[in-house]
Structure 1
Amino acid sequence: MREGLLDDVSTVSLPKRGAGERAPRLVPALTLISHPTTQRVGERLLLEELLSGGEVPVSRRAPDFLRPGQTQGAPLADPCLSRKPIIFTPGEGGRVRLLVEEGGTQVVAGEPIRGGREFSPEELAVGIPLELAERVVLLLHLTEPDTGDAHDSLGMVGQSPGIRRVRQLIVQVAGLEEPVLIRGETGSGKELVAKAIHKHSRRREAPFLGVSLAASTKELAAAELFGAKRGSHSTATKDTDGHFRTAQGGTLFLDEVGEMHPEVQAKLLRVLQEKEMFPLGSSIPIPTDVRLVSATDANLEEHIREGRFKEPLKYRLAGFEIRLPSLRERREDIGLLFFHFAREALEELGEVWRLEEPRDPSAEPWLPASLAARLVRYSWPGNIRELRNVARQLVIASRGQPHLRMDPQLEKVLGSAATPPGRPLRLGEGWDPQVTPRPKAPPEQKAPPEQKAVPRRKPSDVSEQELLAALEACAWEPKAAADRLGIARPSIYDKMDRSPNIRKAGDLTPQELIDCYQACQGNLDAMVQRLKVSKQGLRRRLKDQGLDA
């Protein structure tokens, strides 16, 4: 086995393991984030050959991508991808190199890749979205090869190592009476984990009750938890049972326990120790029979040091602890989660047919590749809850449209990638031309000066002359021109439609295509400059005419 390939990535952020457990063996992999056939999202290819110094060519014909836990798969098979493979090879110190042959599939990783690109261990740990021919998005990342059972019986979407480990922990603890503390960022799905624990416990037929302890006064929080006698506090106009009695025999889920008032903490600690409670205003103890599952996004250890949380209570709550990974730590699940939430929204609208396999294999994907890549690059501070909201917003805002389109506000929220990942390969770097000829990378150039972000503008402020200049500077690609002008991408299509000086590839006559094809000897870039239309649209028109660019 090749030594050193993954030496620099042993600290990849995954759920913490117990003392004495071996660090997971990590393997470079490609996971399908977006594909014109949406049912294929989540399939992956392990690049294990890189560990022994080999290389992995990937084209539309081979190799097979498959779901974790399955033994049969299929190649990417998109007709717009080239038969010429893109090639992954090992680099030094845990790096991975991607070689792109001239005339093959266009690959974009923040910016188009010319010749080759090298990705560092740190970038691999985060994950690099690769857009292929503006149709397919792959995530180059690290994963654990031991997949186990990919079937989800817990209602939790995803197959990343982090979420598989959470499923294993749920199964291990669900049948016990041990109190469980779930820790994770806001919006990461802590209540879903609590419900899965209850559903697979011996208490599954009894009540499950969830309550948030954030922003409650000490009297109100104590009354809600333990019940109250009439007149015991200012709002107690009658006797109340409280959540412990309502959930008797079942599971009580306490969210935001880190925000609990110290006096309520003391009462809860006594309940956990003595298995009995006193309602506010009562001196008669009431036995409790409740499985307690709690959750927090707070740093309890810091709260303890500051005297805001009782250390004994933490140990009582955390008889067993589950750490839920953030969405940033499981980017390979973003495609599966997005389409899961999109399907829910489409079902409500009666438009779930949009996710069916397209009749025309070369039809434009419902989820544009550039949008899918942006979803992967985004930091997701709101985690899964935020992703669900974004998916629903995109679906609803794109009703009646053949493809998902972002409104300017959402485009501003998602932002763009900070810098293109990886560094370009130098001429001849990464292969031996005497053994296997490879495409030549362009000579090393000085890095261009850092450009300032283009300020957002109103489409009406962009003149016809500016529009033409931006399109010409961007090789007639509308998306790049929109970014250059600082306007939303849907707006530039509207301006192009209204302009008498701009035409699209669909406006070209068959004879124009044939004449230009012959004059340029099939060189697609030369045809783009001559006809002044986008490369993607021109490629589709040439294919319709049976011409190979």
Structure 2
Amino acid sequence: MQQKLSADMSTTAVQTKGKSAQAPRSVPALTVVSHPQAQRIGERLLLEVLASVGRTAALSRNAPDFSRPGGLLALPLSDPFLSRTPVLFEPAANGGLRLLVPEDGTQVSVAGESVAGGREFSREELAAGVPLVLAERVVLLLHLASPASEGAVKDLGLVGQAEGIQQLREDILRVADLRVPVLIRGETGTGKELVARAIHDQGPRRSGPFISVNLGALSKELVAAELFGAQRGAYTGANRDREGFFRAAHGGTLFLDEVGEAPPEVQAALLRVLETGEVTPVGGHAPVPVDVRLVAATDSDLEARIEERMFKAPLLHRLAGFELCVPPLRERREDIGLLFVHFARQELETTGETWRLASTDPRAQPWLPSAVAVRLVRYGWPGNVRQLRNVTRQLIIGSRGLPGLRVDSRLEQQLEGESLPVPGRVLSAPAQGQAEASDAKASRRKPSEVGENELLEALRSCSWDLKATADFLGIPRPSVYVLIDKSPLIRTARDLSPEEISRCFQECEGDLDKMVQRLEVSRRALQRRVRELGLSDA
């Protein structure tokens, strides 16, 4: 560190949000989460054809081909239990997508519900990720991806191919050879230390030391001595000189994790180190020059801590010479399969069972069962990648010696606790008699003639039974879904927060009918949300 560092920082401090004027538009994509051949997990198919109005994409056993981003080998799903009759994908309104399943085609289920006829997904649901299970054997995640992120990029020790991870790799390469401090932001468990190591390994200091320090784990009384060193006798118990982490990292990189937890006096000292390139040991009087690349990380809202006067604004400005953001796992669900296999391989090496991931038999039962794969991609992962690694270890050890993975009751309850809501709007064709009756009612009135207030009053009169509402209004039942989606006056069960549902459940003593009247949403959809949250209706 040198005095001119502040001038360098002022000219190179670029925030990631300003790198491109306009992000490339994402398109629907399918990523393999589970397959009888585990080595195919992570392969992807971009449905770019759906970007054109009126175009349809078909998926069957024999076509089209899946490949890894940047890879040369491309193969169809090739599972003999899948049908040659394709399922179809077509564009829907507002960037959504429709899945059409023929009667003689492959059985498809979404979040445990079999799809008969079809299902429509909003763009928001596609952004969150929709797991599709084919013939109870192959699991695909339907999601959004940017075609621009499909090129081969050096992995830098980071597993994944989601757009956010690709962007992170590019940012690491942009800043690695510079002297500016880097601030890594991200939730707990996202892998911020791996990012710091990648910056170190890709920079000119790679041959120097990499020192990692968790400020949140240091004693507040000794944190200054740990960082800057201390002279013998500087405090009780200091019976020898202490070098300190800054001097230990001389010529290399010092990674300060949980920097938001630094005490005020340490913040002031850090600011001085960044400004002068010198540290003063506790109990000492002469500053000591250090040559250190500083990388800091936090899962705290530093701006909020500044407003609360718990963090110094000048220190944030110094630390954030360049900011990197590590996306949470829930925003990169297409990487969950890859990460699971990565961690599973590490655990299987310790048990001597790596052969479980090497099957080339397309008729074999998938080692990662579809039900387990769906739970993994639908779970919220509050602990992010670290939590996924722990869950993987639990599954591998708990299933040791068994033919497939077994989920015990405790882990099953955990994975069901914070799952995504069941996505999609059913497009099933009604039975013949129902179709004729519905057509007769629809002929009496056009859906466009139904106003928002009239729709709301009809829903209330029919106790939020959507079929009864359709009959009351004299319009087809699918039109009720469309009108609800368009109306800003009406919420759906998907719009309700878990806290709101749980509070209403307690206040209504589990009476679902009372909950429907209070929350004003579809009874069937609310009942599904209640079950997803682990509540039971009376």
Choose the corresponding residue for 1:355, options 354, 357, 360: 357
Q: Can you give the 5+ residue segments of structure 2 that lack an aligned partner in the other structure?
A: 1-14, 431-466, 468-475, 479-521
Choose the corresponding residue for 1:342, options 333, 341, 344: 344
Corresponding residue for 1:46? Answer: 46
Corresponding residue for 2:77? Answer: 76
Shift of 1:40: 0.9
Shift of 1:152: 3.4
Letter in 1 for 2:107: Q
Shift of 1:364: 1.2
1:132-191 deviations in whole A, cap 9, x for unaligned? 111111011111001354343411111111000110011111111111110000000000
Does 2:527 correspond to 1:450? yes
Letter in 1 for 2:44: R
Normalising by the residue count of structure 1, what TM-score does the alignment of the two structures yield? Answer: 0.75
Contact in 2 for aligned 1:208/1:251 (Cα 8 Å): yes
Normalising by the residue count of structure 2, what TM-score does the alignment of the two structures yield? Answer: 0.77
Letter in 2 for 1:317: L
Shift of 1:103: 2.7
Shift of 1:380: 0.4
Corresponding residue for 1:390? Answer: 391
Contact in 1 for aligned 2:330/2:380 (Cα 8 Å): yes
CA change 1:317–1:16 in 2 (3 A) is closer
Corresponding residue for 1:461? Answer: none
Matches within 5 A, 1:62-101: 62-101=63-102
Contact in 2 for aligned 1:89/1:98 (Cα 8 Å): yes
Corresponding residue for 1:405? Answer: 406
Secondary structure of the corresponding residue to residue 169 of structure 2? helix
* Cα distance in 2 between the residues matched to 1:285 and 1:203: 23
Shift of 1:24: 2.5
CA change 1:232–1:294 in 2 (3 A) is same
Does 2:297 correspond to 1:219? no
* Cα distance in 2 between the residues matched to 1:176 and 1:127: 37
Contact in 2 for aligned 1:426/1:444 (Cα 8 Å): no
Corresponding residue for 1:174? Answer: 176
Matches within 5 A, 1:142-157: 142-147=144-149, 149-157=151-159
1:114-147 deviations in whole A, cap 9, x for unaligned? 1000001110110101111111110111110013
Contact in 2 for aligned 1:304/1:310 (Cα 8 Å): yes
Shift of 1:403: 0.3
* Cα distance in 2 between the residues matched to 1:455 and 1:147: 35
Aligned residues: 430
Letter in 2 for 1:157: V
Q: Can you give the 5+ residue segments of structure 1 that lack an aligned partner in the other structure?
A: 1-14, 429-441, 457-482, 485-549
Letter in 2 for 1:42: G
Contact in 2 for aligned 1:170/1:197 (Cα 8 Å): yes
Shift of 1:295: 0.4
Shift of 1:25: 1.3
* Cα distance in 2 between the residues matched to 1:189 and 1:328: 14
CA change 1:418–1:325 in 2 (3 A) is closer
1:4-58 deviations in whole A, cap 9, x for unaligned? xxxxxxxxxxx96216621221111111111111111111111111111200010
Shift of 1:418: 5.1
Letter in 2 for 1:391: T
Does 2:322 correspond to 1:291? no
Does 2:416 correspond to 1:415? yes
Letter in 2 for 1:62: A
Secondary structure of the corresponding residue to residue 450 of structure 1? helix
Contact in 2 for aligned 1:47/1:56 (Cα 8 Å): yes
Matches within 5 A, 1:237-386: 237-359=239-361, 361-386=362-387
Letter in 1 for 2:425: R
Secondary structure of the corresponding residue to residue 389 of structure 1? helix
Corresponding residue for 1:186? Answer: 188
Shift of 1:345: 0.3
Shift of 1:454: 9.6
* Cα distance in 2 between the residues matched to 1:220 and 1:346: 41
The sequence identity of aligned pairs, in percent, is 57
Contact in 2 for aligned 1:69/1:147 (Cα 8 Å): no
Pairwise CA RMSD: 2.2
1:208-239 deviations in whole A, cap 9, x for unaligned? 00000004344311000000012212332221
Shift of 1:363: 1.9
Contact in 1 for aligned 2:153/2:166 (Cα 8 Å): no
CA change 1:152–1:391 in 2 (3 A) is farther
Shift of 1:426: 5.5
